Amino acid sequence: MAKIAMLHTSFVFLNIDTQIQDLVSDLMPGDELIHFVDSEVLADVVRDGGISESSQDRMMHLAQAAERAGADVIFSACSSLGPAIDAAKQHVHVPIIKVDDAMTRDAAAAGGTIGVLATVPTTLGPTADLIRGHGTAATKDLTVIEKLAAGAFDVLMTGDRAKHDEMVKAAAQELLTQGVDRIVLAQASMARLAEELQESTGVPVLASPRLGVQNLAEFVHPAA
């Protein structure tokens, strides 16, 4: 049995949308899941318009706390803080897997024109950069188009899922007019819309939670 530490930057995936931890329970039923939360750091990153030194340090300390708790692997559930997680990797000996590692790798492997859709502005850049990085590593020719469903995440935080969903759907249609070959949902909070968006746009739609947890499961329990 492995001890998995999940890092959170808000209470969204603990109190509002439990899909990531539900996936861990389904795909890794014999493993122990513990949570480490800095409930304000994502809000600070959004307010600051990027990752400050303070926010980066807080993610490092969160990872270090997980290591001290005896975690065998750390799973970061937040895409906006991806660069801070990369920095945190240099300060712990425990492997860290990001929720969007597998999704962005798969998107880059397909090449073409990739639309990145986010509801938090600070998630767009890190997700797009991950895709470009994977594309460079795989020598893939690709174009990344970024699209923000401005204000949708704030709406979701008020509990109005219906309005949030309509804003995301409208943004996806705008990406479609720009000739994208596939759409990447930059945040796990949009994942439940992936199938519906794929049907309405007619292009593949990639979401991080299931791909991310599958990647985690394969790392913890590699095939014989």
Is residue 12 pLDDT above 80, yes or no?
Answer: no
Is residue 154 pLDDT above 90, yes or no?
Answer: no
Helix (H, G, I), strand (E, B) or coil at 140: coil
Provide the phi-psi class of 179: left if phi over 0, else alpha when psi is between -120 and 50, else beta: left
Residue 20 binned pLDDT confidence (cut-offs 50, 70, 90) = confident
Q: In this structure, which amino acid lies at residue 209? A: P
Q: What is the pLDDT of residue 15?
A: 67
Residue 183 CA, distance from chain mean position: 14
The residue whose two tokens read 């990797």 is 89
Burial of 30 (0-12, 13-18, 19+ CB in 10 A): exposed
- Kindly list the structural domains of the chain, giving each domain's residue range(s) and its CATH number in brackets, ordered by start: 3-99+211-220 (3.40.50.1860), 101-207 (3.40.50.1860)
Mean pLDDT of 21-34: 92
Residue 16 binned pLDDT confidence (cut-offs 50, 70, 90) = low
pLDDT, tens digit, 9 for 90 and up, residues 99-124: 999 999 999 999 999 999 999 888 89
Percent above pLDDT 90 for the chain: 68
Is residue 32 pLDDT above 60, yes or no?
Answer: yes
Q: What is the pLDDT of residue 42?
A: 86
Both tokens assigned to 201: 């746009």
List the single range of 17-21, 43-47, 186-190, 194-198 with lowest mean pLDDT: 17-21
Show the beta-strand stretches assigned E in the chain.
Answer: 3-8, 32-37, 73-76, 96-98, 112-118, 142-148, 182-185, 205-207
pLDDT, tens digit, 9 for 90 and up, residues 163-184: 999 999 999 999 999 999 999 9
Is residue 64 pLDDT above 90, yes or no?
Answer: yes
Q: What is the pLDDT of residue 10?
A: 78
How many residues in the chain? 224
